[in-house]
Structure 1
């Protein structure tokens, strides 16, 4: 049943990227070519997407154009490798990609991949030559690393000039970044850079047909739906391991963006989560083991970078971090973490109590439950274990303990909760409502199933609030939406992610016919990269359903809009489902029959007025607005000065600005100032949580009236 599916925001540690008659790859003297297995799989995936997925997208010119653009963006998003003439040459495949895949023809896609690979190696070899060239750090010129909004290079000379500037910037950056490199001379920096480029070249030469096939298939599935993904055997095994019980490392899911390893999810309970320094979209530019030297990982293959970052429990890793939204001229900060064994089943709900002084001068106890995911031990359930672990069971116990402690209100914190078990989202809602529908699910045949809470009674009937943000997704949105629709509590924060779809993970061997399996075997193209235990033909995570609130409104695309909103730097245009071009649209079906607990429109209107008045006097609110403004300041086409004096002055200005800002916040919290020579102190103050608790005290007073 759909009810028992695992749902969630799928942020996977893979490269995020993405005809005419068959091209003779042999004539082009290109290195990589598709195997018979690749061709069979491409054909079957096209059939699944066209005939069995929720979207059922026809393989036509329109979808082919999107696949083409995805592939180009996935390979060279920053436009640093390909020439305009290359892209014009590729146009011959633009309108036929999906039709070719349907026919099992991958020659056009591999032609593009191989051309890109050639350009990539040419650029890196030229960069290696430029390391020993003379660079004048007194001239007035700038370097633009991310050229997505600019045109492709029109000549080889333009491309080479870009890479001359790249090498010059890398050398200058090594001179100016961190105390450990400031003591080194230019020759030492050159040696560091030579090793970096040699390593990138070495990694590039190890790229194989399976790597190319994964990039190509991702560009294909992303064109249909952002949550439908094909994984080749090794990627499938990595995905399934990430969904299993334990991980060892820092507790973050990583993705490659513009040649930088980027944090895309922080796993609750892990070292990164506990440290609270790392943020989503921070970029890891270098890694050091313990007290060892930093190794630059810019441009590395993701799997190679991850191998440096992961490690055994108890070992220390240091990371150089370029914060999310920060310009290239910003000096990286250093974060030290001790790796742990992360037991995902133990990402349990936790509680705390805050005593808040209300506007009426009285003290109120607000119980806060932090829920990082919607979890359930399915194995224990299948074994018939009566004491299986689940979100609802844990939260019920926490509510009981909060009631014993005499709390006046409860606040459920679902920020950054990417989802989990649909069953748990339904049952958790039942702790706050007395029976009734919670969510509706429409399948590929347009059949609608209404999933309801069947248990009488509630575990908490007092004032209640739910906190969400842009990274609250799927099951979180189902819960928050139901609480809002029933009028059972106030939803606070920022608009949620907008993932209103459900995926099935399916082993591709189910769709490969016996004839095609024999054909693959007869080809003699043995796949030596398939890990033991991995799905032989990979797997596809395919969208098979869509969620709707009890009002009939979809959670897809629009997400859940809070009753009381906080400003956020994560805009809908750049983050969340609405930023995905291939996302399914918002729509509506018939509402379920349900009885509202109360109508909170009047109260929420009053809450907003009180909140806004309080914010005009809040230094913390000012800090939040400044953070958002700074985050969104980055130019649409960011560039950095290659004049040493100017870049050094700019970095010093940013350093002083950051110190002053941190000290203002420390002063507000009554803490000692951050002095020169000391490591940057951690600011644990959670303004959104504190103000949400304040809002609940307002809610208590208004509710009594």
Structure 2
């Protein structure tokens, strides 16, 4: 064999090996980019590709440990479509079929920093939104008389699980019904047709103008967050601008209304109110309300449907002493067009306004006895980090304030018989303070476990010897008690130190870290909290020993309501010694509690309202026949008025004459929020009932001590 023949044969073998290798390792080849569905429009900037690759790299450290494969690609694809068109009222079925070419390609593209699929989908979305808004404006140009309200038509309230419209005609029908519902809702609220026309034209024109102002940065943020929030709802990408807003919101120099907001579908939703903030003090804004308009003092209201969260925040934020007007859809409202306007004066959220406070309530007992119950209300777990890190001896902290209040309660004459720690609406704060607060009541031991993405578990411990209070305790919580509040409540429950009373807590049991990027930053979930018993706080929250009814929709508020929330799970318990076993007392406490709630007018009122609200929530569609709709509303209002007047009669108040009086009362209630620390004339029924449960426990414990003492004497 000649040297040349040998060389040719070797080259052939190498070629065959390369071909085989390429066939087996198809990932070495770059798939051709599919032709875009829509022409022109927005395109990614050069900096976005690098940021995307950096985000993909850092997501490898997420607690969930998801692989970048076809399964993830499909999840991101579905999430992106849901984020853009949650109610399936913009994309046609043919659009979604055209997008299907991207379904299994997104993982590969994102790893390379290729954002073409996300921008292609968004460009068509933007076109479709514009078409729909132009359709609505054209119909309004024809006048409201062109709309018929005497047929048998109805409108679906939730189309998220409905098929995509198959044609332009089907889409026109969907939007015709939505327009008629908007008009009818406003008519039933007493708005005149001329004003309805003006409001709707202003709203749709504003939305159309906003859609046309979208920039590449907007698309990048929306698309990348479809990726990050496929991992969990607390993992988020912040552009440089939104990073700045996030950092400002973390500082105490923020001047605004004191509300935590999030983007949900096309709306800005209120997650919770900051204790001590202007919104919490005013009492008009509630969790789960949706903000659809923002106005400055006497300026015209600006419609913010479809706006980015940071843009809405910028409108709401402003100098101390100025007023901001908000148009909101109240939580639980059956229609997005049933709105009301509120005004809040901006101010700073001061640390001292979040400070713990104390009071004493007296609970009547048997034989003219009275149980004195100390109450410490903790709005947030706060710590002056700067002063703490500088080693200043008088730094401000939750634990220090509570310790001082406990000492004051311990010095009371006569002494308190029990203690309530009120954590309602406490959204968390410093983990350090939560664990330190536990140390005031357990006298040594572990307080919480933290598990990272690699499965390593770190145990936080009580490093302070002794206890400041060892008597009977209760912890009062609600759905807005989250994070650090859940760590404290869980420890008190596991150690048997307190009865947990109220509602299922929020269920936020994850730990996030801010990671800088070359372009913006990434908030990444890297760990989970676990109780000393091994149970996670995540998703499930803290389940109270004694439950009370609240007018809160758990399908709308809480970790379990968030898409892709990490699940509840359990790890091994750490070594700890429960200090008391309250379980044997719970059946008696629940029985006495249920007997009181069965005759308590305030809780009867709450339960009847819950039934009414649940009926409304279960409605899948509403009639577009004006006469029928008015009849339904009147029936609803008759029931509401009856529920209100039953409560008023039971507590000795004058019944209301009609719905106009009830609406006026609702407005008055929003302007004069109930003071939860008992400074107002009206007692807090939840706090009073918590005190009653704790008083029951005190008496049961006393009876047990008497029985044990008598038994011991008999034996002697």
TM-score range for the pair, normalised by the shorter chain length: 0.7 to 0.9
SS of alignment partner, residue 503 of structure 1:
strand
Partner of 2:688: 690
Partner of 2:240: 233
- Aligned pairs (5 A) from 1:102-251: 102-133=111-142, 134-178=146-190, 181-182=191-192, 186-251=193-258
* Higher deviation after alignment, 669-678 or 119-128: 669-678
Partner of 1:385: 392
- Aligned pairs (5 A) from 1:224-623: 224-287=231-294, 289-290=296-297, 296-328=303-335, 331-344=338-351, 346-358=353-365, 361-405=368-412, 406-509=415-518, 537-568=519-550, 570=552, 574-623=556-605
2:49 counterpart (39, 53, 62): 39
- Greater RCO (CA < 8 Å, at least 6 residues apart): 1
Q: 1:331 offset after TM fit, Å?
A: 4.8
Provide closer, same or farther for how the CA distance between residues 239 and 326 of structure 1 changes in structure 2, counting only shifts above 3 A.
same
How many residue pairs match? The answer is 653
Q: Pick the structure with greater CA Rg.
A: 2
Partner of 1:30: 40
Q: 1:450 offset after TM fit, Å?
A: 1.4
* Structure-1-length-normalised TM-score: 0.86
Provide closer, same or farther for how the CA distance between residues 239 and 603 of structure 1 changes in structure 2, counting only shifts above 3 A.
same
Q: 1:175 offset after TM fit, Å?
A: 3.9
Q: Structure 1 segments of 4 or more deviating over 6 A? A: none
Deviations 1:338-367 (A, max 9, x none): 332223564222222222213554222222
Q: 1:623 offset after TM fit, Å?
A: 1.4
Q: Aligned equivalents of 1:643 and 1:55: distance in 2?
A: 49
Q: Aligned equivalents of 1:490 and 1:334: distance in 2?
A: 40
Q: Aligned equivalents of 1:441 and 1:82: distance in 2?
A: 43
Q: Aligned equivalents of 1:339 and 1:569: distance in 2?
A: 28
Q: 1:99 offset after TM fit, Å?
A: 2.5
SS of alignment partner, residue 141 of structure 2:
coil
Q: Aligned equivalents of 1:156 and 1:487: distance in 2?
A: 63
2:647 counterpart (665, 670, 688): 665
* Structure-2-length-normalised TM-score: 0.85
Q: Aligned equivalents of 1:344 and 1:239: distance in 2?
A: 19
2:59 counterpart (10, 31, 49): 49
Q: Aligned equivalents of 2:554 and 2:150: distance in 1?
A: 41
Q: Aligned equivalents of 1:267 and 1:628: distance in 2?
A: 26
Match status 1:80 vs 2:84: no
Tell whether the 8 Å contact from 1:53 to 1:542 is kept in structure 2 after alignment.
yes
Tell whether the 8 Å contact from 1:233 to 1:538 is kept in structure 2 after alignment.
yes
- Listed as ranges, the gaps of 5+ residues in structure 2 are 1-29, 675-682, 704-716
Provide closer, same or farther for how the CA distance between residues 79 and 471 of structure 1 changes in structure 2, counting only shifts above 3 A.
same
Provide closer, same or farther for how the CA distance between residues 22 and 388 of structure 1 changes in structure 2, counting only shifts above 3 A.
farther
SS of alignment partner, residue 430 of structure 1:
helix
Deviations 1:254-279 (A, max 9, x none): 23434333221111112322233433
Partner of 1:532: none
Q: Aligned equivalents of 1:659 and 1:20: distance in 2?
A: 65
Deviations 1:497-551 (A, max 9, x none): 2222211111113xxxxxxxxxxxxxxxxxxxxxxxxxxx111111222222112
Provide closer, same or farther for how the CA distance between residues 287 and 587 of structure 1 changes in structure 2, counting only shifts above 3 A.
closer
Q: Aligned equivalents of 2:253 and 2:408: distance in 1?
A: 29
Tell whether the 8 Å contact from 1:345 to 1:377 is kept in structure 2 after alignment.
no
Deviations 1:201-258 (A, max 9, x none): 1111111111111111111111112222111111111111111113323322223434
Q: 1:651 offset after TM fit, Å?
A: 3.8
Provide closer, same or farther for how the CA distance between residues 360 and 571 of structure 1 changes in structure 2, counting only shifts above 3 A.
farther
Provide closer, same or farther for how the CA distance between residues 670 and 22 of structure 1 changes in structure 2, counting only shifts above 3 A.
farther
* Higher deviation after alignment, 659-668 or 121-130: 659-668
SS of alignment partner, residue 604 of structure 1:
helix
Q: Aligned equivalents of 1:588 and 1:330: distance in 2?
A: 44
Tell whether the 8 Å contact from 1:244 to 1:344 is kept in structure 2 after alignment.
no
- Listed as ranges, the gaps of 5+ residues in structure 1 are 1-18, 510-536
Q: Aligned equivalents of 1:616 and 1:188: distance in 2?
A: 46
Partner of 2:700: 702
